[in-house]
Amino acid sequence: MQPTPPQSLPRVLGPWLATAIVVGTVIGSGVFKKGRNVADNVPEFGLAMSVWVLGGLLALLGALALAEIAVLFPRAGGNYVFLREGYGRWAGFLWGWVEFWIIRSASIAALATMFTESFHDVLRQSLYPAATDRVEVLPFWPRQLLTALVIAGLTVVNVRGTRLSGTVQFGITLLKVASLLFIIALPFAVYAAVAEPTHPPKAAHLSPTWPGGFLGINWSGFGVALVGVLWAYNGWMNIAPVAGEVKHPQRNIPLSLLLAVFILIALYCGANLAYHLVLPRDDIVRKDAAGHLSSTPLATEFCAALLGPVGVVIASAIVMTSVFGALNGNILVGPRLLYAMGHDRLAPESFGRLHARYQTPALAIVAMSGWSCLLVLCVGALTQYRLPVVPLGFADLDLNVPQGKSPFDIMTDFVIFGSVTFETLAVATIFMFRRRIPVTPENRPYRCWGYPVVPALYVAIMAAVLVNMFLTPEQRTEALVGMGFIASGAAVYALFYRNSA
């Protein structure tokens, strides 16, 4: 195995900036969008909230284990380094292949798309206050071009320096946390300030709280809802790709990871409780004539119900700020994977070079952002044109987009399978490293609490989620496409990189 050359990325991220990167890249669109999917698949409020709690607990279990691994290998690349050291170069390459082509790039594209859509909502409300959701101020393709320009602008910021991008991330994260606290407190503030509020908090909206019994739970629907929540928590591992730039990593990596996860659980559960106190379930799972869930963020309907038309503008600004921070964080951490792979000659070596002035992996940043921009345009075309259905014998692979399905939902659907697969394998490397590397206070100043139960429980639950994706018709296509990309990556590795070590 060829070791990675010594890293020269400067360690400029303290514990607060590192925590802000995790929180800022995770809080994006999920807390505003995925509550509809959860309520649609899990009608009981208590069970729906348990999905959000379980998603956070899974992230916590994974973080407890991953922190030990990241302390062992505090290098740029994150999961790529863990998988390469744990299973071999082939595993690191497969993660990099799927991460670049689908996971990270589609996440960047999806977040930028939602930013543009929220900006479009602000324009529509400002210019045409009485307009319906169907009125377009900007036509479809100009919105896609604007989405690509947003990605390009943040690319320039990240090329110019990690400290600059991290400082931007810290400021935006504070705004995002404050925005969610505003949503949590708004129903009670309006109730206290207005004599007869039109939508006071109602405990009746929280019924039914629980199904009749254990056997009454729709476990398949629960699994579908959990996949949506996993998108909301997706990114909790984002301290790992920038581990090589964290000051005092043995102390600050575990601290930042665990603090970030607890913040996320509290904010997500609080925001969803606020939604349900104000909006009846029928409004939360509102569907169009074709049977598709409303694409309007829950925060928009929530603020509109409490504050009227001005609430729409406030909610759109909140969503834009949140998504902008997640987008910046993903552009910050994602290219570190290409940087590490370039050093190991599993990607073009030029990706492993730093900009002479800014000391950032500039070419890797441009490459990932460029593919994300192209993905925005490709998915836009996918929503406009029909493709043939591919028969596979046991299932048909239909890449056509159902009428009314947004580009955002398309891209997030294809992120989760590959993400869950390789992130679970990355957490599982803790078992291999415990056997290979003796546990000493010097090499493990932090050790996973509850080992081996904690990482084993995480792996078992995430494996069940993957199996459920194959068994659920609504998610089978995403799982099959994900497997196809993994298989194509294996073929590329066998042809070009197997003997390159």
**Model pTM?**
0.78
pLDDT in tens, 311-350: 888 998 898 888 888 888 889 888 888 998 998 999 999 9
Q: Give the pairing type, strands 396-397 and 390-391.
A: antiparallel
- Which residues are CB-neighbours of 260 under 8 A, at least 6 positions away? 19, 22, 23, 26, 63, 236, 239
Q: Where in the chain are the domains?
A: 15-497
3-class SS at 13? strand
Quick one: pLDDT band at residue 51, thresholds 50, 70, 90?
A: very high
The total of other beta-carbon atoms located within 10 Å of residue 149's CB is 13
What is the pLDDT, as a whole number, of residue 362?
Answer: 93
Give the C-alpha separation, 260 to 345, whole Å: 33
**In the prediction, which pLDDT does 286 show?**
82
Lowest-confidence range among 53-62, 139-148, 357-366, 478-487? 478-487
Q: Which residue has the higher pLDDT, 199 or 356?
A: 356
- pLDDT at residue 390, rounded to an integer: 47
DSSP label at residue 452: T
Per-residue pLDDT at 191 exceeds 90: no
CA distances 477 to 295, 376, 401, 413, 473, Å, are 21, 20, 12, 9, 8
pLDDT of amino acid 261: 86
pLDDT at 365: 94
Per-residue pLDDT tens over the stretch 199-244: 777 778 888 888 876 666 788 888 888 988 988 898 787 777 666 6
Q: How many percent of the chain have pLDDT more than 90?
A: 27
The pLDDT of residue 367: 95
Q: What length is written for the chain? A: 501
pLDDT band for 477, please (50, 70, 90 cuts).
confident
d(CA 14, CA 2): 30
Quote the mean pLDDT of the chain.
83
Q: Give pLDDT, residue 6.
A: 42
Kindly report which listed range (287-301, 417-431, 484-498) carries the lowest average pLDDT score.
287-301
Q: What is the pLDDT of residue 471?
A: 85
Query: Where does the pLDDT of residue 411 fall: very low under 50, low under 70, confident under 90, or very high at 90 and above?
Result: low
Mention the CATH class of domain 15-497: mainly alpha
In this prediction, residue 482 has a pLDDT band, given cuts at 50, 70 and 90, of confident
Predicted confidence band at 170 (pLDDT cuts at 50, 70, 90)? confident
Which of 175-189, 276-290, 441-455, 482-496 shows the lowest per-residue confidence on average (mean pLDDT)?
276-290
| pLDDT of res. 275 | 94
Query: Which residues make beta-bridge pairs with 391?
Result: 396
So what's the pLDDT on residue 2?
Answer: 45
Q: What's the mean pLDDT in 364-373?
A: 94
> What's residue 5's pLDDT?
44
- For 268-322, write each residue's pLDDT tens digit: 999 999 999 999 888 888 876 666 777 788 898 899 889 888 888 899 889 888 8
Tens of pLDDT, residues 10-32: 777 788 888 887 887 788 878 99
Among the listed ranges 154-163, 197-206, 400-409, which one has the minimum average pLDDT value? 400-409
Share of the chain above pLDDT 70, in %: 86
Q: Burial, 196: exposed, middle or buried (Cβ in 10 Å; 0-12, 13-18, 19+)?
A: exposed
Radius of gyration of the chain (CA): 22
